[in-house]
Structure 1
Amino acid sequence: MAIELQRKNESSMEHTHHEVMEKGYPGKNLDDDGRENRTGTMITASAHIITAVIGSGVLSLAWAMAQLGWVAGSACLLAFSGITYFTSTLLADCYRSPDPITGTRNYTYMDVVRANLGGMKFKLCGLAQYVNLVGVTIGYTITASISMVAVKRSNCFHKNGHEVDCYAANYPFMIIFACIQILLSQIPNFHNLSWLSLVAAVMSFAYSLIGVGLSLAKVAEKGHHVRTTLTGVTIGIDVTGAMKVWRTFQALGNIAFAYAFSNVLIEIQDTLKSCPPESKVMKKASLIGVLTTSIFYMLCGCLGYAAFGNDAPGNFLTGFGFYEPFWLIDFANICIAIHLIGAYQVFCQPIFGFVEDRCTRLWPESGFIKNEYAIKIPFHKPYYINFFRLVWRTAYVILTAFIAMIFPFFNDFVGLLGAASFWPLTVYFPIEMHIAQAKIKKYSSRWIWLKILSWSCLIVTIIAAVGSIQGLAADLKTYKPFNERH
């Protein structure tokens, strides 16, 4: 099996090498597999991870803490952080197979699953990964537009008072976001995306720090007093018994979604230079990325809960838990929008790569799909334009924006997708591939505790998915389109 897989990969590498030579890129340096030379480092990989992990989920953690309380909320944040880091190290070893140091590269998450597990599991992985990626890109379109709207509303509240109805439509801002993504989507691949991820990572630090600072200021206010408890919202005072259960489930889903980045980890690892070994660099990058985001998550969640107590809003920057200083709220929301512009690209690049690779294999002689044309840029290396990439990626961005406009409550679907994909992509496949790669004996102590971890996370995922479905149903009952609010 390993020999057969190696021959297939060698054949693919040879085909890729000839393909690159046929296209005539005299200025491009090729890596050992015939692809464009990888230049990624631990810093760029860490930036990609931070960009992928810190997204819209971080701003809802204060609400999640309010549902779970100080004890369970803090424990869940730490537990999800530890599980995510542990499974990311297992996944990093699977980038090359059969050996994590000298084996053949696998370029995508699906390639990794096919090389280590094969069969039906490979197809299930593809379904889980790409459905989740599409859902996230749609959700980010909505979330970015909400942050843009929040800037407009913040100025309205500052000018007219906090009691004024300052509703604004999201649709124009979704169009603006889509236009920006159409331009950025012409970036060929992850290898050319490092600068965007670094900018987005800086933005994520900025708005997280602003949220933390505003929470600290609110906690330090004279006479500030809110009710917080060890177990979160109180039955009979804040919520009913049934609401407490559902909100607890939803809070688990929010935390799971906030930590999900495994679906792009292999694509990020594929940007790294081969020396030192990619797996070692990726483990360090994962530690830096997960540790950094976990610190911010704890600060945003705990300080947000301390600032608002059991009445914490769903999003403490766009939900107007803070009104002043309005210019700082504006800046934070601009940072969120810029960060999501970069995060959108991090999550959609695997989709672009998958479709383009499939089309290249199906129609290998098509000039529309294969040919790239060099455009000379003064004082810069040539930019290569491909008409298929231009048409297909533009169509994808337009489609995601259109769906976001039809379903403005799609974030609930994304929460459901995040809960549903956490177990298979973050836990199940990394553990199963590690067992297969390391040849761990069935029913050995290591095999047993890995299985216990996997099944425990499955139970949490099911609970979170059920809570998300109930939350979606409740939102559908109370949802009113913008034109019905006036």
Structure 2
Amino acid sequence: MKSFDAVHNPSAVESGDATGNNVDDDGREKRTGTLMTASAHIITAVIGSGVLSLAWAIAQLGWVAGTLILVTFAVINYYTSTMLADCYRSDEGTRNYTYMDVVRSYLGMKVQLSGLAQYGSLVGTTIGYTITASISLVAIKKANCFHDKGHGAKCSVPNYPFIAAFGIVEVVLSQIPNFHKLSWLSIVAAVMSFSYASIGIGLAIAVVANGVTGTVVGVDVTASDKIWKSFQAIGDMAFSYSFSLVLDTLRSTPPENKVMKKATLAGISTTTVFYILCGCMGYAAFGNRAPGDFLTDFGFYEPFWLVDFANACIVVHLIAAYQVFAQPFFQFVEDKCIKAWPENNFITKEHSVNILFLGKCRINYLRLVWRTAYVVLTTVVAMIFPFFNSILGLIGAAAFWPLTVYFPVEMHISQRKVKKYSMRWIALKLLVSVCLIVSLLAAIGSIVGLINSVKAYKPFHS
């Protein structure tokens, strides 16, 4: 949940009784996060690439089941997020600056499992965003081609150059120290999110189609395809709500947990309305043939400039969102290295370098090498496995249960000392068990989809 700040920067803290203008009462950097910035961060994280797959997800599940599952995910996310917000401070009143800190505080040795789930999900999300951004860039070029040559033209465009271009941009951005301070970037990204989601909804409203129970067995898909794609659709929906990893630098007054609960309610409510509109309107537009990405798979051809603009908004949003999810992993590795080798100049020393057009910049060799290597790795993986829906579904399934459900619920039980086998304890354990089953089914469905995609795929071909 976002009431924890260190996903952006473990050194950031809230503004309490400061010992200096820029320092908080515990000697850490003063925090300036507000309800508005927290809400913007949540919207930036939530309305992302996941929204593009919701028309396809609704097509697999149908109006009723699809909408019900979306709302259910929203309710579960909000409920467990309030639990997580209340765990920001430990029983002794000390602050937990990272997700791992709060797990360590309440659950002890399970912290290693939370770290594996957290950082694995962050890596997977950055790969997914790289794939999505390249698809949108390809769509811009295709839209122009279809406009010039006709909708039936063969406009084949490889996405590998665009994946590489996106990677180059992220290499540059990843070198910015104190990236967490660029709160305006989240606001810009949130505006981009609203823009392309609204355009998609508007284009879909213009098309009339029918559908009640989703894809039809024997007509659109086989029985087994219907089952696996339905499970994969649930994984896509889980991914579309994956923001438990995104934390914020909130002030200490009003209390962080109260502000985060309000921000979470505002963020989830807003995004759920957009999700239902995008999913249902996209399904209404395309019916049971809804594409995996409803802005890039060309159900909409005209007006081509509007399709271009929507995809450009997606790219701008994902450029920022990539850093929101990558920065905590960067910081985690760098902090570990600094702790292990505090005297090593390669790791700790900052160098001032004059860069053309940018002036003096601070360069750290560890940051330069490690972050560049990370971006290159995620870029290469995205090139090898550019499968939008299957990747999103797998990431969503893998991250949803441990980070959004299991750890928050277990910490809540520990914090509130919920009596074992009481009605509340049984209800919470039942919630955890049901969500585990849903996540496993979603993961299986996504893996089946990934296997089917790999069978017909030739790497580094159009």
Q: Is TM (by shorter chain) over 0.5?
A: yes
Aligned residue runs from structure 1 range 209-288, under 5 A: 209-219=198-208, 226-229=209-212, 231-264=213-246, 268-269=247-248, 271-288=249-266
The 2-side partners of 1:76 and 1:411 are apart by: 17
CA-CA distance at 1:395 after TM superposition: 2.0
Aligned residue runs from structure 1 range 43-442, under 5 A: 43-98=36-91, 103-119=93-109, 121-189=110-178, 191-219=180-208, 226-229=209-212, 231-264=213-246, 268-269=247-248, 271-372=249-350, 384-409=362-387, 412-442=390-420
The 2-side partners of 1:96 and 1:200 are apart by: 30
CA contact (8 A) 2:237 2:396 kept: no
The 2-side partners of 1:106 and 1:384 are apart by: 29
The 2-side partners of 1:467 and 1:448 are apart by: 29
Q: What secondary structure is seen at the aligned counterpart in 1 of 2:448?
A: helix
CA contact (8 A) 1:110 1:125 kept: yes
1:478: which partner in 2?
456
CA contact (8 A) 1:98 1:437 kept: yes
Q: How many residues align structurally?
A: 444
Q: Which amino acid aligns with 2:416?
A: A
Q: What secondary structure is seen at the aligned counterpart in 1 of 2:207?
A: helix
Greater mean deviation of Cα atoms: 27-36 or 202-211: 27-36
CA-CA distance at 1:361 after TM superposition: 0.7
Q: Deviations over 1:354-384 (max 9, x none)?
A: 111111110122233223356899xx99965
Q: Which amino acid aligns with 2:177?
A: P
Q: Which amino acid aligns with 2:384?
A: I
The 1-side partners of 2:54 and 2:329 are apart by: 28
CA-CA distance at 1:411 after TM superposition: 5.7
CA-CA distance at 1:37 after TM superposition: 1.2
CA contact (8 A) 2:50 2:392 kept: no
CA-CA distance at 1:190 after TM superposition: 5.5
CA-CA distance at 1:33 after TM superposition: 2.3
User: Measured at CA, do residues 381 and 171 of structure 1 come closer, stay the same or move farther in structure 2, by a change above 3 Å?
Assistant: closer
The 2-side partners of 1:73 and 1:189 are apart by: 40
The 2-side partners of 1:299 and 1:122 are apart by: 38
Q: Deviations over 1:154-193 (max 9, x none)?
A: 0001111111111111121112211211222123245313
CA-CA distance at 1:481 after TM superposition: 4.2
User: Measured at CA, do residues 189 and 445 of structure 1 come closer, stay the same or move farther in structure 2, by a change above 3 Å?
Assistant: farther
In structure 1, the gaps of 5 or more residues are: 1-12, 18-26, 220-225
CA contact (8 A) 1:317 1:329 kept: yes
RMSD of the alignment, in Å? 2.2
Q: Deviations over 1:135-159 (max 9, x none)?
A: 1111111110110010000000111
User: Measured at CA, do residues 48 and 178 of structure 1 come closer, stay the same or move farther in structure 2, by a change above 3 Å?
Assistant: same
CA-CA distance at 1:240 after TM superposition: 1.9
CA-CA distance at 1:321 after TM superposition: 0.9
CA-CA distance at 1:263 after TM superposition: 2.0
Q: Which amino acid aligns with 2:197?
A: S
Q: What secondary structure is seen at the aligned counterpart in 1 of 2:253?
A: coil
Query: Which is higher, the Rg of structure 1 or of structure 2?
Result: 1
CA-CA distance at 1:413 after TM superposition: 3.6
CA-CA distance at 1:415 after TM superposition: 2.4
Q: TM-score, normalised by structure 1?
A: 0.87
User: Measured at CA, do residues 389 and 307 of structure 1 come closer, stay the same or move farther in structure 2, by a change above 3 Å?
Assistant: same
Q: Which runs of 4+ in 1 moved over 4 A?
A: 373-377, 380-385
Structure in which a larger fraction of residues adopt helix: 1
Greater mean deviation of Cα atoms: 246-255 or 398-407: 398-407
In percent, how many aligned pairs have the same letter? 65
The 2-side partners of 1:398 and 1:243 are apart by: 35
The 2-side partners of 1:156 and 1:198 are apart by: 32
The 2-side partners of 1:47 and 1:179 are apart by: 26
Q: Deviations over 1:20-60 (max 9, x none)?
A: xxxxxxx9711222221111111111111111111111011
CA contact (8 A) 2:292 2:388 kept: no
Q: Which amino acid aligns with 1:457?
A: C
CA-CA distance at 1:305 after TM superposition: 1.0
The 1-side partners of 2:352 and 2:419 are apart by: 53
2:6: which partner in 1?
none
2:35 alignment partner, one of 42, 46, 64? 42
CA-CA distance at 1:390 after TM superposition: 2.6
CA-CA distance at 1:211 after TM superposition: 0.2
CA contact (8 A) 2:384 2:460 kept: no
The 1-side partners of 2:329 and 2:181 are apart by: 16
User: Measured at CA, do residues 374 and 94 of structure 1 come closer, stay the same or move farther in structure 2, by a change above 3 Å?
Assistant: farther
